[in-house]
Amino acid sequence: MTTSPHALNWFEIPALDLERAFNFYSTVLGAEHVRKGTFFGSELVLFAVPFTTGEAVGGSIVRRDHFIPSADGALLYINTFGNLEAALSRVEKAGGSILAPMRDLGNFGKSAVIMDSEGNRVGLHQTA
């Protein structure tokens, strides 16, 4: 049995409208970085990273009755795949807002905090 080297194994971001959330994230991150899928008969939006190989941590956007979008609680940082400035330039056009502008983290890259189209506070991160 192999163990994951990652502190986080999987994450789920709540959505009220999956199509709207898909449009938001595919606009902000780029269409090649998100895809629609199903899991045990439920529709979801997946971040297109190699999570099944252990190279990356996977996550999805889901709609469930007991999942409520929130601006409070844990803050997850999503990889912008090398272009944080470009991603931030598309946030408002996609129906979100910028809560904390881009900041330089030195050797750790750059980050910003946004509100997505569903009302979730989400971090965006670009590695150095």
pLDDT digits 0-9 by tens, 61-95: 999 989 999 999 889 999 998 899 999 999 999 99
pLDDT for position 105 = 94
Tell me: the pLDDT tens digits for 13-69? 999 999 999 999 999 999 999 999 998 889 999 998 887 787 888 889 999 989 999
**Interatomic CA distance for residues 13 and 21, integer angstroms:** 10
Local confidence band at 2 (pLDDT 50, 70, 90 cut-offs)? low
- Is the pLDDT reported for residue 1 higher than 50? no
**pTM confidence score:** 0.86
Q: Which fold has domain 10-126?
A: 2,3-Dihydroxybiphenyl 1,2-Dioxygenase; domain 1 (3.10.180)
| pLDDT reading at 106 higher than 50 | yes
For 118, half-sphere exposure in the C-beta direction (CA atoms, 13 angstrom radius) is: 22
* CB 47, CB 33: distance < 8 Å: yes
- Return the higher-pLDDT residue of 110 and 57: 110
Q: How confident is the model at residue 119 (pLDDT cuts 50, 70, 90)?
A: very high
Instruction: Report the C-alpha gap between 86 and 12 in whole angstroms.
Output: 24
CA distance linking residue 87 with residue 82, whole number of Å = 9
At residue 18, the pLDDT reads 96
Number of residues that this document lists for the chain: 128
CB 124 within 8 A of CB 113: yes
The residues spanned by each domain of the chain are: 10-126
Token pair of 27 as six digits: 């606009």
Contact predicate 91/46, CB 8 Å = no
